[in-house]
A = this chain, B = another copy of it.
Amino acid sequence: MQKWKKNIRDIEPYVPGEQPQSSNIIKLNTNESPFAPSPQVKKAIEKYDYEKLRLYPSFVCKELKGALKDIYNVEEDEIFLGNGSDEVLALCFMTFFNSGKKILFPDITYSFYDVWCRLFNIDFERVPLNDDFCIVKEDYYNENGGVVITNPNAPTAIYMEVSEIEDIVKNNDDVIVIVDEAYIDFGGKSAVELIHKYDNVVVVQTYSKSRNLAGIRLGFAMANRELINALEAVKNSFNSYTVSSLSQVIAAASARDVEYFEKCVNEIITAREWTVEELSRLGFETLPSKANFIFTTNKSISAKELFDFLKSKGIYVRYFNKPRIDQYLRITIGTKEQMEELIKAVKEFLNK
């Protein structure tokens, strides 16, 4: 063994869904949007003066923060931007979870949380969801080093009311509560209003899902100024410029196109409700979803076998070989046509 080897960080990373390159694939495995970004994005790219790329991106990001400010009713200095919400969350973990006490998050939730804990040496405890896969707010009232709630939760898609989030925030006034709202736009209500009522809550959102812009890497956090300043200091101790100039311009253009945004989100919701209904006729039980994906099971079949069958038909969904959820599939909601193809393939599997 090489002598330097013992000092190399050895870590089990987060594994994202597969990214098949073929264009014949129906890709329902990574919760991307089936729709193109806003046409305003196209215009913004065309209008952009590429010569400006010789300069570092704007440090203050005034244009983008200005656009977000109006949507969320917050001030510019209550917004923190990052290179995807994964970066924002990673920096939040580094900034806020330094008590030495265990932080709490559900046993079934976004699987990056424990990866960040291991990366940053943060103790954690997975709090079991109840038998209906719901978060029980009282389970988060014990002494802890911080709380992370995904709302709607992933991969369950189950939404929690803001009043319940508020109870968790209120009962944890000595630590920071992070609300990861990656999927909030598909029927839920953001907890962002809480940031003006409580100084210990951070709301994180992304442009990868409801904004159809996974490719630009843009996530953001909203919280009171003091928390944002602390995040900025840690970010500036890691990488001064994390959001590329073009991503800033593109996200700002998308943010301002409310009409297109609502149209896309509504089409996803309609396709979701249709899919849940169709699956129900085929014997599937689907957890109540307010996300752009569903989590579904059918007691009479093997989820893994259905997953493999769909893949052989060119339909990629997500399967987690983990306790409690190994009979479920997570299926991203695509276009109505894609969901029709999915249902057709599921029927074929059932009739084999």
Residues of A within 8 A of B (CB): 2-4, 6-16, 19, 27, 30, 32-37, 41-42, 45-46, 48, 50-59, 83-84, 86-87, 90, 94-99, 115-116, 118-119, 145-146, 173-176, 199-200, 208, 212-217, 227, 230, 232-247, 250
Q: Are B145 and A7 in contact (CB under 8 A)?
A: yes
Complex formed: what's the CA distance from A200 to B4 in Å? Answer: 7
Nearest-neighbor residue (CB-CB) of A43 within chain B: B50
Complex formed: what's the CA distance from A247 to B119 in Å? Answer: 27
Report the minimal beta-carbon distance from A99 to chain B, rounded to whole angstroms: 4
Q: Are B36 and A51 in contact (CB under 8 A)?
A: yes
Report the minimal beta-carbon distance from A193 to chain B, rounded to whole angstroms: 20
Measured between beta carbons, the chain B residues less than 8 angstroms from A240 are: 14, 16, 86
| From B11, B90, B200, B208, contact of A233 by CB (8 A) | B11
Complex formed: what's the CA distance from A54 to B264 in Å? Answer: 12
Measured between beta carbons, the chain B residues less than 8 angstroms from A215 are: 52-57, 244-246
Complex formed: what's the CA distance from A12 to B243 in Å? Answer: 21
**Top 9 A-B pairs ranked by shortest CB distance?**
A13-B236, A215-B245, A53-B215, A3-B174, A36-B51, A7-B99, A54-B212, A56-B214, A86-B239
| From B9, B84, B213, B243, contact of A230 by CB (8 A) | B9
Measured between beta carbons, the chain B residues less than 8 angstroms from A54 are: 32-37, 212-215
Q: Are A53 and B213 in contact (CB under 8 A)?
A: yes
Measured between beta carbons, the chain B residues less than 8 angstroms from A242 are: 83-84, 87, 217
Measured between beta carbons, the chain B residues less than 8 angstroms from A7 are: 96-99, 145-146, 175-176
Given contacts A7-B175, A238-B90, A242-B83, are A32 and B56 in contact (CB under 8 A)? yes
Given contacts A37-B50, A174-B4, A234-B119, are A239 and B83 in contact (CB under 8 A)? yes
26 intermolecular pairs with C-beta atoms under 8 Å apart: A4-B174, A4-B175, A7-B176, A8-B176, A9-B234, A11-B234, A12-B233, A13-B232, A13-B236, A13-B237, A16-B59, A32-B55, A33-B54, A35-B54, A36-B54, A37-B50, A37-B51, A41-B53, A53-B212, A53-B216, A83-B217, A83-B242, A86-B241, A118-B237, A119-B234, A217-B243
Complex formed: what's the CA distance from A239 to B118 in Å? Answer: 14
Known: A36-B54, A53-B216. 17 other contacts (CB 8 A): A2-B200, A9-B94, A10-B230, A10-B233, A11-B234, A27-B55, A33-B54, A34-B54, A37-B54, A41-B50, A55-B215, A84-B242, A86-B238, A87-B238, A215-B245, A215-B246, A216-B244
